[in-house]
Amino acid sequence: MRFNRQLESIKTYEGGKPIELVMREYGIPPEDIVKLASNENPFGTSEKVVETIRNYAPDVYMYPDDSMLELKTALAKKFGIETANLIIGAGSDQVISFAINAKANKHKKVLTARTTFAMYDIYAKQIGAKVIKTPSHQHNLDEFYHLYKKDGDVGIIFLCLPNNPLGESLDKKDVFEFISKIDDNTMVVVDGAYQDFAAAKDPAKKIDPKELIETFPNTLYLGTFSKSYGLGGMRVGYGIATEEIMNALYKMRPPFNVTSLSLKAATAAMEDEAFVQKGIENNFREMQKYEAFAKENKIDFIDSYTNFITLLFKKEKNASEIAQLLLKKGIIIRDLQSYGLNGIRVTIGRPEQNERFFTEIAPLL
């Protein structure tokens, strides 16, 4: 069978390997498996969320409230915006696809960093839009500006701040200066999936969605409940922008795109910010151990503003081999070979998970 031509250039997205797969393939009992591959919250999810899901389980026969007003009201309050400035997606992933569908096409390109969240590229290619990428792996705003100017046909720019899978971020003032040079008809997306981590580590990196969209009406801010809030399995994310942008994005939204339990879970998660803070504090405390380990073992690492750290190996060591050997020992991390990098991305876990990682990787170095 022949399929649409644009599918030929798409690499199927590979998520972090699930625990079940490692159990099956290597016969390792689940309690011995350490998953540090998908940037999930290592403390799980808040008890309040679990209780809420239990309470609302009997209601699943009903369609969700498609206005999603309860969650939107909580988000609007948190960010000091109006509910009309919000759209909720099945993960912020879905909002990325809405934005690309609204702003890119065969003639209007997508501009991203060379090594960034894979879904920008995949959604763009699905609709036959070209993706142009900066020469540098990490975000370099001069390169972004140069390509934007030179090409002249960019519909949407993605800034992943902080960047997945590398971990770097940019100062707000530099980001604002960059956006001020972009024309009103080009959408600039700030993907803030890890913004709460960045803001905790360095306030200069913090990008406030309200300030962003009020200063620049051509911007879209993205947030997710999958990382610090511990709700990856519920698939909830959101976009924040002007009503004009919202009107366009809503045209792309399938009906009932977020489940009723997901909406309840996200609302409950917002009522337990202490749980989120605990995760962020553990993250940066434990990250220091990774940095010390990397220095001791002469491994390069990227200064990270997220809940993961990217380790880059010297030529003599093969990251894919290391990832494979770790997997056999029940340690799941992310190999970055598909990005053209000889490195791995490791989610910062609980102290005992991180110790297991150091113990298992040491003999492979």
Ligand X SMILES: *Cc1c(COP(=O)(O)O)cnc(C)c1O
Told to check if 190 binds ligand X by CB under 6 A, we report no
Closer by beta carbon to ligand X, 95 or else 322: 95
Told to check if 92 binds ligand X by CB under 6 A, we report yes
Q: Which residues share a beta bridge with 347?
A: 308
Measured from each CB, the residue nearest to ligand X is: 91
Query: Which 3 state secondary structure label does DSSP give 256?
Result: coil
With contacts defined by CB under 6 A, name the span among 45-53, 175-183, 219-227, 353-361 that binds ligand X: 219-227
Tokens matching residue 7: 């599918």
Count the residues of the shown chain that bind ligand X, applying the rule CB under 6 A. Answer: 13
* Minimum CB distance to ligand X, residue 284 (Å): 18
Closer by beta carbon to ligand X, 220 or else 361: 220
Query: Which 3 state secondary structure label does DSSP give 231?
Result: coil
Rounded Cα distance, 228 and 277, in Å: 8
Rounded Cα distance, 228 and 40, in Å: 7
Among 237, 279, 343, 349, binds ligand X (CB under 6 A): 237
* Minimum CB distance to ligand X, residue 71 (Å): 14
Q: Which residues share a beta bridge with 331?
A: 34
* Minimum CB distance to ligand X, residue 49 (Å): 15
In Å, how far are 173, 184, 354 from 41, measured between CA atoms? 29, 37, 13
With contacts defined by CB under 6 A, name the span among 4-12, 47-55, 222-230, 295-303 that binds ligand X: 222-230
Among 40, 121, 168, 191, binds ligand X (CB under 6 A): 191
Tokens matching residue 271: 């009522």
Told to check if 115 binds ligand X by CB under 6 A, we report no
Closer by beta carbon to ligand X, 91 or else 155: 91
Q: Which residues contact 298 (CB under 8 A, 6 or more apart)?
A: 314
Told to check if 93 binds ligand X by CB under 6 A, we report yes
Burial grade of 48 (CB within 10 A; 0-12, 13-18, 19 or more)? middle
Tokens matching residue 237: 């994310």
Told to check if 226 binds ligand X by CB under 6 A, we report yes
* Minimum CB distance to ligand X, residue 99 (Å): 12
Write each residue from 139 to 178 as x if it is in contact with ligand X (CB under 6 A), else as -, in one continuous string.
---------------------x---x--------------
* Minimum CB distance to ligand X, residue 33 (Å): 21
In Å, how far are 142, 198, 222, 307 from 225, measured between CA atoms? 31, 16, 11, 14
* Minimum CB distance to ligand X, residue 164 (Å): 4
Q: Which residues contact 297 (CB under 8 A, 6 or more apart)?
A: 362, 365
Q: Is the peptide bond before 42 cis (omega within 30 degrees of 0)?
A: no
Told to check if 309 binds ligand X by CB under 6 A, we report no
Rounded Cα distance, 233 and 269, in Å: 13
Rounded Cα distance, 81 and 246, in Å: 13
* Minimum CB distance to ligand X, residue 41 (Å): 12
Closer by beta carbon to ligand X, 209 or else 330: 209
Residues near ligand X (CB under 6 A) are 91-93, 117, 160, 164, 191, 193, 224, 226-227, 232, 237
